[in-house]
Structure 1
Amino acid sequence: MNGTQLLGQDHRVILAEGFRDGFQRLHASLRRDSTRERPPFEAYGRRRDGTEFYGEVACALLEWDAGVFITASVRATLHREADAGLREAMSLLSATLESTADGILVVDTDGQIEGVNDQFVKMWGIPRDLLATHDDEAVMGFVLAQLSDPVQFADKVHELYAHPLAESNDVLKFTDGRTFERYSRPQKVADKVVGRVWSFRDVTPRLAAQEQAKRAMADLAEQAEQLKALAFQDPLTGLANRKLFNDQLAEALRSDLGHPVDVLLLDLDDFKEVNDILGHHAGDEMLTEVARRLRSCVRPNDTVARLGGDEFVVLLTAAENPESVAARIVESLNVPCGSTAPCCGPASAW
C-alpha cells in the first residue's frame, strides 16, 4: 500500500504479528506522561507484499485541536549492519596502522593533515599538544628542523603536490645521524585523488648493521691477505719465502715463451759474527737492509727471496745480461751498512 491507501487503515497493519500490541502499550505510556522521551522499540514491520523486515519504531504524542494523536516512524535497521561493518573495517584499519613499524601521515589534496598513527608521532618526536593545535605549518617547521637537508624535503613535497598521481620514495638524513626512507603515493576514492599517504621507515639500525657487516668483511679480507702474506712472505724482510720462490721458479720453467731463467744464490760472509758481537737485533737490521738493496738491483717482475738465515736467492726471467745484475748486487752489498759496520759481502753469487 502507498501513503494514500494507508489513510484510515488500522495502524497495526504495518507491523508483523506479535508486535502490534507495542503501539497500544507505548500510547498508554505516553498518555500518562507525554513529557518523558521514549526510546524507539524494535519490531518487525510488514511490507505491502507481506514480507517482513526488522526495524525500529519511534513514537510521540501530537496534540491538535481535534484531539491527541500518536505519531510513529518506522525505519528498517539495515543501516545498523552497514554501520557495524564500517566500524569493524575502520577498527581493522586503525589496528593495522598502529601495528605497523612505519610512521603514517595522511593529508588532503591541499596538504592539510588528515591523520597520523602513533608511530609517526614517535618517530618524529612531535609533541601531542602541537598536533592538537592543528597548525600544520608549525608541525612542518618542527619536522624540517630535524633534517640535514630541509630544502630537499620541502621541494619533494611541493613536487608531489604538483603531480597528484605521482609516487615517490627517497631517503632522509637527520642531523642526529638517523636515516629514514620516505614513501608517498596518492590516496584515491573511486579513481579520484582525495589526498596523499606518506610512509616513513627508520632504517638507521639496518644501515648500521650493513656498515658493521661491511667493516667485518673488510677486516676478514685484510686478515686473509695477511695470512696469505705469512704463507708466502718472509716475516722479517718482506721478501718471498722459500715456498713462493719454488712456485715461481716452477712456473717460469713451465713457460712456453722460451725466455731464459737465471737463478742467483748468495749468502753473507761472517754474518754469524754480527749476531754474536752486535746482537740479533743488529743482525735483523742488516738482513732487512740487504733485502732492500737486493730489490733495488732487479726489475719489479723479478723475484728476490730469503731462503732462511743469511741465504738469499734472486730469480731472473728474460734477463738480457744476468752477469751485470750479479755484479750490481755484489757492488751494492759491499757498501757499508750504516756508520758502525760494513754490510757483509756475498760469499757467492751465480
Structure 2
Amino acid sequence: FNRRFAKLWGLPGGLLHEPGDAGLWLSLQRVMRDGEQYRLRIEALLDAPLMRSSDVLRLADGRVLEQVSLPQMSRGEPIGRVFSFRDLSEKLAAHQRIEELGRSDALTGAPNRRALADRIVQQMAAVDTGEPPPVFALLHLDLDRFKQINDTLG
C-alpha cells in the first residue's frame, strides 16, 4: 500500500514499512465501525481468488469508503488481489443534503408539502396494519396570501 492509502484510512506512517500484511489488516479492522465483519469479508475474498467485489465500508469516525477488489492475474492464473478505495463521504453528505432540501422549506427549514404528504401516507399505512393505531391527527390551515407573508416575515 502507499501513503495516500494510509492517509485515507488514518493509518500510522510506520505501518508502511512493516513486513507482511498482519499489522495492516489489524489496523484496518480497528478503524472500521464493524471490524469483525470486515475481517470476515476480507477472509472470504482471499479464499476466493477469482471473486470480484465492490463494498461500501463505514468507518468508526463516520466516513464512508467504497472498496473495489479484483483478482490480479498473470497468464490466466490469479496471483494476488488488487484493492482500490474511494472516499464517498462528501458525495453521500451532498446527496443527503439535497434530499433534505427537497423535503423542507429553504428559508425556515420546516417540512414542505412533499414531506407532509409522505408523512400522511406513512401514518395511514400504520393505521392499516391492524395493530393498535398510533396517535394521528391532521390539521389543515389554508391562509390567504401565505407566500407573501412567508416571503416578507419568514
Give the alignment's TM-score, normalised by structure 1: 0.31
Choose between structure 1 and 2 for higher RCO, CA contacts under 8 A separated by at least 6 residues.
2
Task: Return the offset for 1:194.
Answer: 0.7
Deviations 1:42-61 (A, max 9, x none): xxxxxxxxxxxxxxxxxxxx
- Corresponding residue to 1:188 among 66, 73, 96: 73
- After superposition, where does 1:56-71 map in structure 2 within 5 Å? none
Q: Which has the higher strand share?
A: 1
Task: Return the offset for 1:135.
Answer: 4.2
Matched, 1:168 2:53: yes
Task: Return the offset for 1:179.
Answer: 0.6
- After superposition, where does 1:160-239 map in structure 2 within 5 Å? 160-220=45-105, 222-224=111-113
- Corresponding residue to 2:35 among 145, 150, 171: 150
Report if the CA contact (8 A) 2:3-2:13 is conserved.
no
Task: Return the offset for 1:128.
Answer: 2.6
Letter in 2 for 1:203: L
Larger Rg: 1
SS of match in other structure, 2:32: coil
CA 1:223–1:137: 2 relative to 1, 3 Å: same
Question: Percent of aligned pairs with the same residue?
Answer: 32
Partner of 2:6: 121
Q: Which stretches in structure 1 are left out of the alignment for 5+ residues?
A: 1-115, 226-236, 243-350
SS of match in other structure, 1:199: strand
SS of match in other structure, 2:49: coil
Report if the CA contact (8 A) 2:2-2:16 is conserved.
no
Letter in 1 for 2:94: A
CA 1:177–1:166: 2 relative to 1, 3 Å: same
- After superposition, where does 1:97-112 map in structure 2 within 5 Å? none
Q: Which runs of 4+ in 1 moved over 6 A?
A: none
SS of match in other structure, 2:104: helix
Q: Distance in 2 between matches of 1:241 and 1:120?
A: 57
